[in-house]
């Protein structure tokens, strides 16, 4: 037990001993006449001094609210003790007049001031934080409770003292009234205190120190007259110091343990006060005389009733406000549940509900599904903030084009929809209107957005899922046909799409069961047909479908993300095979091995590490690996750019594939660390045609000529792709190209077939070294020996 606990317990025991001693003396005085009547007045000041001493340690509390309250209590107890000490001295010096002598004015003033200080200290304790209507409600509740309780105490306490057979002095009745006032104020106050540094039990006990003795004294005065002053002074009033010291002890216990208070405060007190204020009225109804004390209660009852009416009016207004707020929140929540938070359009849930309702009612319905083309590029290059603003702008355009007749929806991501209902809904007209809208620059960044639109008309017996599936198939078909277009679903359209999706679903199984093979297309010198490199290509040997074309499964791999593990497999196999060729044929056997890299792979943060691991595991030197990247892949954001520059710093050669087909070819040659430029097949086709018109031939060769000149100026190597005839070889040699690839030069073949070619080249080189320099092998002979079959 702490020192403070021992101190408060000691004071409780001491004040209780004083009260017990007063009780013993009073009994002795009233039974055998022991001692003087004036002795009854000494017990209150002695107990008061002990109570003041017990309060004093709390006046140094850390919390300012608690410190202020207990200082007020200390001052109040000290003043009351001084007043009753004055009274005790006065009574002892005038012992023969003790029964009829009244409390002197100075003593009564000190005591009254003490009660008022206690009341102020109590009033300054903060109550529950509130504002607006709640603050007015609490104020009215406290007024109702105070007036109701005060009216009852007036009726049963003070009023009977005024009309008693032996009325007490005005000083005594004033002090009794102040004591009752403090008790009522405390009861009203404590009900609205929410926690805080001052304990609620402590406040109740301190207030009871004034209220309980005052109530008991009033009853004694009415019942027994002047003789009641002896038990009042010796037995009843010494209880006040005991209650104060108990309050101090309660505060000490509360400071050592967390206090718990109910969530709602003062709920029942106003109703209890209304019941109490009606007690005197009930008494009058049963025959009690209607005297002036009752009239005071009647006035109090009227005031309480008026306050109750005001409170109910405020409560009704607050309830109405809360109801409006609840309805507004409900409407807002319903809107949020059924609408997209970014664009404000209806969301997928509302879309399905409206479509379900239309199908259930057998009303004509059609769905337009709108998918923005290449929206990911906007997020990658300009950031997601610009992408979000673009989606908002698209939604505004869509809302304006659709109007109130149909429902515009954001399905999710960059996908939107329109639900058309009614017999006059024509999806083709709206789709053409939307394509025209998207043909103009949009958003604050003036971006040109294209969209693929698919339409599905609900047939009899259609379900929500079937209509949406048909619209999805139509959108997919629109994208397959080149994007930025409109397709309406017809029966049977979903079969190739389903086959494409099933193909994508089989890719993972194919990876797990090693159904993919790597083949290699030779890259040769055009002047002597010597194989100087190969390009690795992947083939899928399906157990049921046979050989699946890359044009079929590569897009599915891109869409599903399986292009990353598939590309990792091709990378590791190519590096392994290239290292094996290097070990078998030496550094002059094959200069470099290349493979294609997709944009999805470059976006993978582990791609550079995968390349480094493949080179390290295989032992292939970095400079013998070529990674081919298309122009569209290069333009896919900062992650791709960082990956390409990291690869270039490793010593890996980068090739710009299909050069000339993109929109930014020339700028890429300066921004992209390319070492090789591969002329696209479209500029090789027809380059050899001689129709007798020099101007037409120059036009066909213009791009090829410009590319070779630009590459030479920038110090880049060139490879011509798609060579299919000896005439094309001759034309390219005339333009300055020295390296090429194509079906005429060599079809994609297995690693063993490439090994055969390299073996032929190595033997030819050895034979050439055995012949004297004067009889060096001619290029034509070497070309015939090295050219692959077919």
Q: Which residues are catalytic?
A: 721
CA 90 to chain centre: 75
436 Cβ neighbours under 8 A, 6+ residues apart: none
Contacts of 700 (CB under 8 A, 6+ apart): 686, 687, 689
592: three-class secondary structure by DSSP? strand
Residue 442 has what DSSP assignment? B
How far apart CA 624 and CA 147 sit, in angstroms, is: 99
Q: Is 205 exposed, middle or buried (0-12, 13-18, 19+ CB in 10 A)?
A: buried
Are 59 and 52 in contact, with CB atoms under 8 Å apart?
A: no
Q: How many helices (H) and strands (E) does the chain have?
A: 30, 14
d(CA 437, CA 371): 14
Six-digit token string for 677: 């430029």
Q: Are 688 and 647 spatial neighbours (Cβ–Cβ below 8 Å)?
A: no
The residue behind tokens 């083709």 is: 428
Does residue 115 contact residue 179 with C-beta atoms inside 8 Å? yes
Residues 6 or more apart whose CB falls under 8 angstroms from that of 94 comprise: 38, 101
Q: Which two tokens stand for residue 393?
A: 């702008």
Backbone dihedral angles phi then psi of residue 516, each to the nearest 5 degrees: -95, 145
Nearest-angstrom CA–CA distance, 249 and 409: 68
CA distances from 659 to 209, 223, 513, 683 (A): 99, 117, 35, 10
Contact 526, 738 (CB under 8 A): yes
Phi and psi for 708 in degrees, rounded to 5? Answer: -65, -40
Under a CB-based contact definition with an 8 Å cutoff, are residues 73 and 94 in contact? no
Enter the DSSP assignment of 235. I
SS3 of residue 277 by DSSP: helix
Q: 3-state SS of 385-423?
A: HHHHHHHHHHHHHHHHHHCCCCEEEEEECCEEEEEEECC
Those residues with Cβ within 8 angstroms of residue 697's Cβ, 6 or more apart along the chain or in another chain? 689, 690, 691
CA distances from 121 to 143, 215, 374 (A): 18, 21, 73
Using CA atoms, how far residue 705 sits from 687, 691, 710, in Å, is 11, 19, 9
Residues 370/394, Cβ–Cβ less than 8 Å = no
What are the residues facing 719 on neighbouring strands? 678
Phi/psi of residue 740, each to 5°?
-155, 175
Report strand pairing: 415-421 vs 365-372. Answer: antiparallel
β-sheet with 415-421: strand ranges across: 407-412, 415-421, 365-372, 451-457, 486-488
* 418 strand-pairing partners: 368, 408
DSSP string across 547-589: EEPHHHHHHHHHHHTTHHHHHHHHHHHHHHHHHHHHHHH-TTT
How is residue 603 written in tokens? Answer: 């976006």
Q: Give whole-number Cα distances, 631 to 383, 598, 662, in Å.
A: 20, 11, 6
Backbone angles phi, psi at 702, to 5 degrees: -60, -45
């Amino acid at each position: 037990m702490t020192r403070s606990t021992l101190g408060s317990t000691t004071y409780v025991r001491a004040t209780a001993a004083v009260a017990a001693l007063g009780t013993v003396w009073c009994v002795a005085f009233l039974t055998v006449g022991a001692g003087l009547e004036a002795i009854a007045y000494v017990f209150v000041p002695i107990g008061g001094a002990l109570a003041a001493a017990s309060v004093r340690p709390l006046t140094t509390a850390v919390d300012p609210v608690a410190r202020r309250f207990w200082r007020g209590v200390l001052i109040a107890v000290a003043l009351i003790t001084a007043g009753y000490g004055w009274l005790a001295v006065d009574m002892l010096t005038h012992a023969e007049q003790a029964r009829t002598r009244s409390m002197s004015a100075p003593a009564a003033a000190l005591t009254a001031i003490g009660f008022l200080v206690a009341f102020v200290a109590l009033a300054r304790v903060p109550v529950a934080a509130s504002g607006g209507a709640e603050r007015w409600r609490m104020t009215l509740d406290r007024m109702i409770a105070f007036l109701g309780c005060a009216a009852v105490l007036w009726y049963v306490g003070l009023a009977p003292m005024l009309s008693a057979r032996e009325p007490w002095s005005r000083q005594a009745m004033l002090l009794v009234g102040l004591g009752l006032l403090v008790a009522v104020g405390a009861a009203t106050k404590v009900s609205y205190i929410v926690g805080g540094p001052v304990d609620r039990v402590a406040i109740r006990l301190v207030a009871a120190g004034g209220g309980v003795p005052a109530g008991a004294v009033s009853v004694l005065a009415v019942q027994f007259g002047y003789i009641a002053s002896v038990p009042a002074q010796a037995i009843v009033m010494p209880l006040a110091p005991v209650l104060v010291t108990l309050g101090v002890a309660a505060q000490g216990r509360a400071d050592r343990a967390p206090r718990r208070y109910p969530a709602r405060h003062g709920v029942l007190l106003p109703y209890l006060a209304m019941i109490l204020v009606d007690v005197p009225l009930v008494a009058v109804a049963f025959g009690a005389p209607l005297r002036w004390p009752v009239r005071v209660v009647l006035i109090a009852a009227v005031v309480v009733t008026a306050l109750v009416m005001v409170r109910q009016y405020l409560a009704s207004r607050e309830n109405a406000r809360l109801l409006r707020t609840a309805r507004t929140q409900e409407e807002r929540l319903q809107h949020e549940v059924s609408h997209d938070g970014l664009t404000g359009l209806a969301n997928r849930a509302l879309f399905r509900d409206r479509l379900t309702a239309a199908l259930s009612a057998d009303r004509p319905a059609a769905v337009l599904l709108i998918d923005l083309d290449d929206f990911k590029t906007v997020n990658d290059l300009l950031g997601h903030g610009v992408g979000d603003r673009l989606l908002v702008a698209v939604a505004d355009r869509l809302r304006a084009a659709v109007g109130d007749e149909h429902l515009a929806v954001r399905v999710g991501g960059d996908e939107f929809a329109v639900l058309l209902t009614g017999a006059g809904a024509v999806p083709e007209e709206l789709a053409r209107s939307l394509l025209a809208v998207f043909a103009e620059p949009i958003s604050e960044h003036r971006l040109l957005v294209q969209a693929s639109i698919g339409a599905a008309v609900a047939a009899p017996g259609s379900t929500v899922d079937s209509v949406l599936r048909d619209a999805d198939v139509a959108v997919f078909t629109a994208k397959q046909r080149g994007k930025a277009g409109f397709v309406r679903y017809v029966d049977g359209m979903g079969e190739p799409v389903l086959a494409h999706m099933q193909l994508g679903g089989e890719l993972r199984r194919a990876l797990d069961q090693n159904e993919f093979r790597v083949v290699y297309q030779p890259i040769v010198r055009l002047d002597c047909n010597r194989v100087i490199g190969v390009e690795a290509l992947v083939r899928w040997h399906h157990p049921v479908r046979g050989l699946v074309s890359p044009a079929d499964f590569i897009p599915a791999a891109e869409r599903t993300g399986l292009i990353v593990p598939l590309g990792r497999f091709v990378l590791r196999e190519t590096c392994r095979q290239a290292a094996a060729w290097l070990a078998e044929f030496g550094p002059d056997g094959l200069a470099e091995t290349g493979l294609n890299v997709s944009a999805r792979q470059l976006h993978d943060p582990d791609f550079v590490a995968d390349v480094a691991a493949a080179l390290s595991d295989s032992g292939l030197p970095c400079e013998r690996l070529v990674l081919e990247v298309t122009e569209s892949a290069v333009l896919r954001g900062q992650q791709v750019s960082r990956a390409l520059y990291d690869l270039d710093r490793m010593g890996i050669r980068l090739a710009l594939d299909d050069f000339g087909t993109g929109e930014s070819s020339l700028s890429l040659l300066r921004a992209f660390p390319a070492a090789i430029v591969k002329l696209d097949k479209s500029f090789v086709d027809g380059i050899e045609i001689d129709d007798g018109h020099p101007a037409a031939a120059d036009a066909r060769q213009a791009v090829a000529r410009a590319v070779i000149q630009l590459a030479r100026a920038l110090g880049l190597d060139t490879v011509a792709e798609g060579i299919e005839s000896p005439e094309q070889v001759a034309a390219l040699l005339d333009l300055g190209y020295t390296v090429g690839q194509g079906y005429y030069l060599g079809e994609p073949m297995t690693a063993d077939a490439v090994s055969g070619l390299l073996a032929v080249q190595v033997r030819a080189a050895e034979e050439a070294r055995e012949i004297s320099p004067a009889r060096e092998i001619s290029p034509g002979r070497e070309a015939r020996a090295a050219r692959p079959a077919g």
